[in-house]
Amino acid sequence: MHFMTRVVLGICIFLSMVIIFCVAMQSTKSEGLSGSIGGSRGSSFKGSRQDEFLAKITRYTGVAWILGHVVLAYMWVHLR
């Protein structure tokens, strides 16, 4: 496997972990995983700003993840 293919694959794996973390930390109507880790919404200092920030990071990371996989597919086909 070409060196740059491994680098892009590593970046895609890292972006996948960031997406999983951001989605798990976002609050939901039932407070899911973020409520069990950070406490209930009423008792913690986090609010809509943190949710907006996590949503923005999730969006940008998702776009980067998709583009990374497009680049990875191109490299896989053309650098063999």
pLDDT of residue 43: 46
For residues 6-23, one letter each, b for 16 or more C-beta atoms within 10 angstroms of the residue's C-beta and e for the rest, the string is eebbeebeebeebbeebb
User: Residue-wise pLDDT tens for the chain (80 aa)?
Assistant: 789 999 999 999 999 999 999 999 887 766 555 555 655 555 455 567 888 899 999 999 999 999 999 999 999 898 87
pTM: 0.72
Structure token pair of residue 46: 């986090």
pLDDT at 64: 97
Report whether 76 contacts 5 (CB < 8 A). Answer: yes
- Measured distance CA(50)–CA(56) in Å, rounded: 10
Whose tokens are 């990371």? That residue is 61
Question: How much is the pLDDT for 38?
Answer: 58
